[in-house]
Amino acid sequence: MENTLVYYRVAFDVHYYEDFAIVSYVLFEDEQSSEPFKVGQISCDSVAPYISGQFYKRELPCLLKAIEDIEVPIGLIYIDANVWLGKDRKGLGKYLFDSIGQNIPVIGVSKSCFNTDTELIRPVYRKSSKKPLYVSAIGIELENACKKVQTMNGEFRLPKMIKLADSICRGTIANNGLE
């Protein structure tokens, strides 16, 4: 019997409070998964202030801390942010990709468009939504990343596992003990 190693996908979201942040993650087997393999949350103290165009300085340390908390192999990362902000302008996704050794692909899924360069970001329409998601990627072909987002489980604009990470982060599903 062959022992096959499973590489999980993970969706992250970060929610900021006054002086700390909560990072939630949802691990799932593949884009058709209807239930998570595992969900988790961590707290990040002393988050950097928001600086326009330098969002990565605030969010990257939180994501790296969450990745350390995950005890299973990760094969693909989904973030609620952009991989690229423009030609030769890194977004959070590119900084994350570089920080983890460039060995795990990162797909950025954003509700807003900050970059209209279709070589770097593409609108993706899901289900019957008239509003697209904006997908960018590194470590995986952009066309493949778009197909993954488009076919992910979930009936609405935002795929189920990405929405679950957001909901957990904001405390609407799991009581995080902060309210």
What tokens does 156 get?
Answer: 């609405």
CA distances from 42 to 3, 15, 58, 63, 168 (A): 31, 11, 15, 10, 11
Show me where the domains of the chain are located: 8-169
pLDDT of res. 48: 83
For the segment 135-144, the average pLDDT, to the nearest whole number, is 96
What CATH number is given for 8-169 in this structure? 3.30.2170.10
Are 14 and 169 within 8 A, CB to CB? yes
pTM: 0.90
Range scoring the smallest mean pLDDT among 7-11, 19-23, 75-79, 136-140: 19-23
**Model confidence band, residue 55 (pLDDT cutoffs 50, 70, 90):** confident
**DSSP states of 96-120:** HHHHTTT-S-EEEEESS-S---TTT
